[in-house]
Amino acid sequence: REIQAHKLYSGSTNDQLFQQSLQSIEDMEQYIAYLVDTALAYRTFAEKPNSVVEEIKLYISKHIGEDLTRNSLAETVYLNPDYLARLFKKETGVPLGNYIIETRIQMAKHWLATSQMPVHMIAGKVGYANDSYFSRLFKQECGLTPYEFRHKQQKDRLG
> Cα–Cα distance between 87 and 126 in angstroms, integer?
24
Instruction: Indicate the pTM of the whole model.
Output: 0.71
Reply yes or no on whether the pLDDT at 10 is more than 90: no
Alpha helices per DSSP H over the chain = 5-8, 12-21, 25-46, 52-62, 70-76, 81-92, 96-114, 119-125, 131-142, 146-158
Upper half-sphere CA count for residue 102 (Cβ side, 13 Å):
8
pLDDT bin (cut points 50, 70, 90) of residue 8 is low
pLDDT of residue 76: 86
Collapsed DSSP state (helix, strand, coil) of residue 35: helix
pLDDT of residue 45: 66
Kindly indicate whether the domain formed by 98-158 is annotated with CATH number 1.10.10.60. Answer: yes
Mean pLDDT of the chain: 88
Q: How many other CB atoms sit within 10 Å of the CB of residue 122? A: 23
* Whether the Cβ atoms of residue 91 and residue 53 lie closer than 8 Å to each other: yes
pLDDT in tens, 60-117: 999 999 999 999 999 888 888 898 999 999 999 999 999 999 999 999 999 999 999 9
